[in-house]
A and B are shown apart, each in its own frame.
Chain A
């Protein structure tokens, strides 16, 4: 079945450490997105990519980095510069960036600080 796979499901980060969250999709979608979800704050966009080898900052990009070297993969690195990384991270994809296309979501990665 086609879908989006996020790994790991749970991740722990030590102080000063960079960690990378994986997001893979086999839906042949062009656009991919990373969101951060905190209790009571809904989803906030970190980065998004409309096509391979291109990506844009979202609303809360500071302390994060991404790459889009392959159409099916959009990994997110949480750097040591992100001082409050504890959150639920969701990856999503859509066929394109046309407005009528809904986003398909992975099941998320929960990141915690040790």
Chain B
């Protein structure tokens, strides 16, 4: 069965510092991978996605993620964090056979001034 693990429940970084959020997945075939962001009391917004091609994908708000098949990872990065990036971040993998996605438990990002 597919699964997604986000090892860090909560991360705190200073504004202007770099950020990396970890995501590991378990899936038998080539994965379709997504990162979403959720502000409190709101729905999820797509940051970026990977399904083929270049393993480094660019997303909105200055985020990028790198797909590493050998490590079963799809880590999210941002070179310089802004206070408005404080939110919860979810990694997801899509199961093409079942027609549905599995989400990680999320990582809450706090940004210190």
Contact = CB atoms under 8 A, between A and B. Distances in A.
A49 to B, nearest CB: 10
A16 interface: no
What interface size band does chain B fall in?
A: 20 to 34
Contacts of A43: 44, 90, 103
A90 B43 contact: yes
What interface size band does chain A fall in?
A: 20 to 34
Contact of A58 (B36, B49, B100): B100
Contacts, number: 57
A2 interface: no
A40 B41 contact: no
Given A42-B90, A43-B90, A100-B32, A108 B103 contact: no
A31 interface: yes
Interface in A1-50: 4, 6, 31, 33, 35, 40-43, 45, 48, 50
Contact of A48 (B36, B96, B99, B105): B99
Contact of A105 (B45, B96, B100, B106): B45
Nearest to B33: A99
B99 A102 contact: no
Contacts of B36: 105
A106 B46 CA distance: 12
B104 to A, nearest CB: 6
Interface string B87-113: 000100010100111011110000000
A21 to B, nearest CB: 13
Given A42-B104, A90-B43, A108-B41, A97 B99 contact: yes
A107 interface: yes
A58 B101 CA distance: 10
Given A42-B90, A99-B96, A102-B34, 10 more contacts: A33-B100, A42-B104, A90-B44, A97-B100, A98-B96, A99-B51, A100-B32, A102-B49, A103-B44, A108-B42
For the complex of A and B, list the 4 residue pairs with the smallest distance between their C-beta atoms, beginning with the closest. Answer: A105-B43, A99-B32, A97-B99, A42-B105
